[in-house]
């Protein structure tokens, strides 16, 4: 009787990954809260040592055991703890001097080594983010003009393109491409939003959008096409709205351009879907 029962196989892999990701984020957040609330009772040296030991334990655990589906999240937890530890140590003792940028470079190198050793794209993302922070892409202060900020974004995109060329792990290649494209577009949009370089920013955005659009259609990568269309529309909207003096008209234009953009993205998505069906 039991042999005749129907048994459905329920996949839980995605659920486990989601829970693992949430768990890693909660642990990392909890570490920050513990540091903030108990630094006086525990002591900065004890906190730094404890975080460093746990981070090292994550790496050693994965290095000594066979590959498992959730190993990447343990490695990510270790990398996040290292980032928190380095930031905490710099806050307390300034071992790398008064220039905070240096610790971002240290994290970029450390995370890159861990990413390649463990084959973790999540940790590689942390390395790229640290690299961008070291180059000043994510910082803006009164001593930095928008043009300089944009130039730093272009430099960061160029470094990522070079890294992508030198990369020997095919599974890491898309990550470099997505980061490089978005950072380059951020630079061009920063220029577009600057009155003194508005039309230069628009020109660079449209040129970049054309190249990414062509690459997206040739390589059949839908997200690249979305990047090109979205960033180009934002740049065009910035320039047009700047010429519209009436706020109501500007709002109507933005509403209209948004509807057109959404419609265009649906059309592009349908085209890619039809190509996938035809090639299947």
Is the backbone of residue 97 left (phi > 0), alpha (psi -120 to 50) or beta? Answer: left
Q: Are residues 41 and 77 in the same domain?
A: yes
119 DSSP 8-state letter: T
Q: Do residues 267 and 176 share a domain?
A: yes
Query: Mean pLDDT score of the chain, rounded to an integer?
Result: 85
Share of the chain above pLDDT 90, in %: 55
Same domain, 165 and 110: no
Note the pLDDT tens digit of each residue in 60-113: 988 887 666 678 888 999 999 999 889 888 888 877 766 657 889 999 999 999
Residue 46 lies inside a defined structural domain of this protein: yes
pLDDT at 118: 92
Residue 159: give the domain boundaries.
135-280
> Mean pLDDT, to the nearest integer, of 203-213?
97
Q: Nearest 5°: CA angle at 104, between 103 and 105?
A: 90
Residue 214 lies in a domain: yes
What is the pLDDT at residue 111?
Answer: 97
Asked if residue 39 has pLDDT above 90, the reply is no
Residue 123 CA to chain centroid, in angstroms? 11
Lowest mean pLDDT among 102-116, 130-144, 146-160, 257-271: 130-144
**Which pLDDT score, from 0 to 100, does residue 45 have?**
86
CB 205 within 8 A of CB 168: no
pLDDT in tens, 159-207: 999 999 999 999 999 999 999 999 999 999 999 999 999 999 999 999 9
**Among 153, 130, 39, CA closest to 79:** 130
pLDDT for res 6? 43
> Are both 169 and 103 inside the same structural domain?
no
126 within a domain of the structure (yes/no)? yes
Q: How many structural domains does the chain have?
A: 2
Which of 134, 154, 182 is the last residue in one of the domains?
A: 134
Last residue of a domain, one of 79, 114, 134: 134
């Amino acid at each position: 009787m039991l042999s005749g029962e129907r048994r459905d196989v329920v996949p839980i892999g995605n659920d486990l990954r989601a829970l693992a990701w949430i768990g890693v984020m909660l642990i990392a957040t909890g570490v920050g809260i513990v540091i903030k609330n108990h630094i006086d009772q525990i002591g900065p040296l004890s906190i730094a040592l404890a975080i460093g030991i746990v981070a090292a334990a994550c790496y050693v655990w994965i290095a000594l055991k066979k590959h498992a589906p959730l190993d990447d999240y343990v490695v990510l937890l270790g990398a996040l703890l290292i980032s928190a530890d380095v930031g905490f140590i710099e806050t307390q003792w300034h071992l790398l001097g008064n220039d905070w940028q240096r610790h971002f470079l240290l994290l970029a190198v450390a995370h890159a080594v861990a990413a390649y050793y463990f084959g973790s794209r999540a940790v590689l993302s942390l390395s790229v983010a640290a690299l961008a922070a070291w180059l000043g892409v994510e910082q803006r202060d009164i001593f930095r003009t928008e043009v300089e900020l944009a130039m730093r974004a272009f430099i960061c995109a160029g470094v990522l393109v070079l890294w992508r060329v030198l990369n020997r792990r095919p599974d890491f290649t898309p990550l470099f491409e997505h980061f490089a494209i978005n950072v380059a577009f951020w630079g061009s949009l920063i220029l577009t939003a600057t009155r003194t370089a508005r039309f230069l920013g628009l020109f660079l955005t449209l040129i970049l959008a054309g190249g990414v659009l062509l690459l997206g259609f040739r390589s059949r990568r839908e997200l690249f096409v979305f990047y090109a269309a979205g960033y180009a529309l934002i740049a065009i909207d910035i320039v047009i709205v700047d010429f519209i003096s009436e706020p109501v008209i500007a709002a109507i234009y933005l509403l209209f351009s948004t509807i057109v953009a959404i419609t265009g993205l649906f059309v592009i998505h349908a085209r890619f879907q039809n190509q996938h069906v035809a090639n299947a």
